């Protein structure tokens, strides 16, 4: 679209609050300037969305790979274009532990590329899933740290240059509460993850400022029975009951069984659930085997997660459009609520409320249009008022 021109998005079902309505949406200079009746819309270049659902832009908060790209090695510009095809307007490349110098070099590379105007989805920061993790999950034990050394922490902060937005760590590690306070004081969201902690250690982490549970239900210890016949309470149940904690959910029906999705929705509500992909290379592609840059093979199957050579889950095969579909299909969420979990709620977690996550005047013109149904097919993605992806039927 020409710079400086007003664009009118029309003939769409627009998400407003918990309802889908039919106003026109005007965009100018990267912002939403008008939401209202067609008869009162300003003059501008009209884009007919052919009855699609228009949502605030989807935010891919936790992604390790997508299609043939791996976040730790792919050029950020390429990653941003692929994300945009799946309705994403902002994403956080998520890094798992590697050898220290390679880890730091990757952080520096992404921080540098973040500063450019990306051609697709924007990148507001980096997500570090480790290296301070007690439970391996699918990760390499060699690169995990059992305590937070000040030297490595400060080297990571320096490499990030203010670009690190989320750090996931295990609450039971030595000096975890003090380090959580240190990180949150710098504006970093601290997530509890990959943990065997007890309830007391979890509460200490939350009291220190931890506010997110990484991929809840996955790599968390179950509660231990203390009285025969009495159902135990563990950290998952404690997180569900604590309104201070946002919960990441992988809504593919594999990482979290459908019944747990519904329980989580009842406990947390859409204002505290963040839909994530935790996607791995191959996500969004047909079933098959795909290789990471280090030579490891990942297998993707329809209706399943990404699996490593041992057959264990290793991230997901989701993209954000499919994550929304999964929360409706498996979690029985209303579509407006599922869209909120993929847009407004992650925006709030990242401190971007008032700028992103709603379709109303003054907000960034980050918008996603899709056709609901079996595939939730994206037909348009707009970032800061620029159409960065358009399906052929809208050309």
Q: Could you tell me where the beta strands, DSSP code E, fall in 218-266?
A: 246-250
- Crossing angle of helices 76-85 and 100-114, in 10° steps, is 70
Comparing CA positions, the residue from 339, 343, 382 lying closest to residue 47 is 382
Quote the CA–CA distance of 275 and 344 in Å, as a whole number: 11
**Hey, is 4 helix, strand or coil?**
coil
Report in angstroms the alpha-carbon separations of 40 from 21, 35, 194, 362.
Answer: 16, 9, 52, 18
Listing DSSP states for 41-94 in one string gives PPS-EEEE-TT-EEEEPEEEEEESEETTEETTTS-HHHHHHHHHHTTEEEEEEE
Instruction: Report yes or no: 30 and 365 within 8 Å, Cβ to Cβ.
Output: yes
Q: Single out the catalytic residue among 218, 242, 278, 366.
A: 278
Instruction: Report yes or no: 210 and 243 within 8 Å, Cβ to Cβ.
Output: no
Buried b (16+ CB within 10 A) or exposed e, 213-225: bbbbbbbbeebee
Query: Among this protein's residues, is 43 annotated catalytic?
Result: no
Instruction: Report yes or no: 367 and 89 within 8 Å, Cβ to Cβ.
Output: yes
Quote the CA–CA distance of 132 and 88 in Å, as a whole number: 29
Beta carbons within 8 Å of 231's beta carbon, 6+ residues apart = none
Instruction: Report yes or no: 61 and 279 within 8 Å, Cβ to Cβ.
Output: no
Helix (H) or strand (E) holding 104: helix 100-114
Residue 94, number of CB atoms within 10 A of its CB: 25
Quote the CA–CA distance of 127 and 86 in Å, as a whole number: 20
- Burial class of 185 by CB neighbour count within 10 A (0 to 12, 13 to 18, 19+): exposed
Q: Indicate which residues carry an active-site annotation.
A: 278
């Amino acid at each position: 679209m020409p710079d400086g021109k007003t664009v009118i998005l029309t003939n769409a079902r627009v998400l407003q609050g918990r309802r889908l309505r039919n106003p026109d949406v005007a965009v100018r200079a990267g912002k939403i300037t008008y939401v209202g009746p067609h008869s009162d819309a300003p003059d501008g270049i009209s884009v007919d969305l052919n009855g699609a659902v228009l949502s605030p832009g989807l935010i891919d908060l936790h992604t390790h790979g997508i299609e043939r790209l791996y976040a730790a090695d792919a050029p950020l510009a390429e990653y941003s274009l692929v994300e945009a095809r799946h309705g994403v307007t902002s994403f956080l490349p998520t890094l798992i532990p590697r050898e220290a110098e390679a880890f730091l070099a990757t952080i520096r590379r992404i921080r540098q590329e973040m500063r450019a105007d990306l051609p697709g989805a924007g990148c507001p920061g980096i997500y570090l899933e480790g290296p301070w993790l007690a439970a391996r999950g699918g990760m390499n034990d060699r690169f995990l740290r059992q305590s937070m050394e000040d030297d490595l922490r400060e080297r990571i902060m320096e490499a990030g240059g203010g670009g690190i937005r989320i750090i996931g760590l295990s609450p039971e590690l030595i000096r975890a509460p003090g380090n959580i306070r240190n990180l949150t004081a710098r504006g970093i969201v601290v997530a509890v993850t990959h943990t065997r902690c007890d309830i007391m250690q979890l509460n200490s982490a939350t009291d220190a400022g931890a506010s997110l549970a990484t991929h809840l239900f996955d790599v968390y210890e179950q509660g231990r029975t203390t009285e025969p016949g009495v159902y135990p309470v563990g950290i998952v149940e404690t997180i569900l009951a604590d309104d201070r904690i946002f919960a990441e959910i992988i809504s593919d029906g594999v990482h979290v069984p459908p019944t747990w999705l519904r329980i989580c929705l009842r406990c947390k509500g859409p204002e505290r659930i963040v839909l994530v992909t935790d996607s791995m290379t191959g996500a969004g592609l047909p079933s098959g085997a795909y290789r990471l840059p280090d030579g490891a093979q990942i297998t993707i199957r329809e209706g399943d997660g990404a699996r490593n050579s041992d057959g264990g889950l290793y991230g997901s095969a989701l993209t954000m459009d499919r994550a929304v579909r999964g929360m409706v299909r498996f979690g029985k969420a209303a579509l407006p609520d599922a869209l909120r979990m993929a847009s407004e709620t992650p925006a709030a977690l990242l401190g971007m409320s008032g700028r992103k996550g709603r379709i109303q005047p003054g907000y960034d013109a980050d918008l996603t249009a899709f056709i609901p149904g079996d595939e939730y097919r994206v037909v348009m993605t707009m970032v800061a008022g620029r159409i960065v992806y358009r399906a052929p039927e809208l050309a």
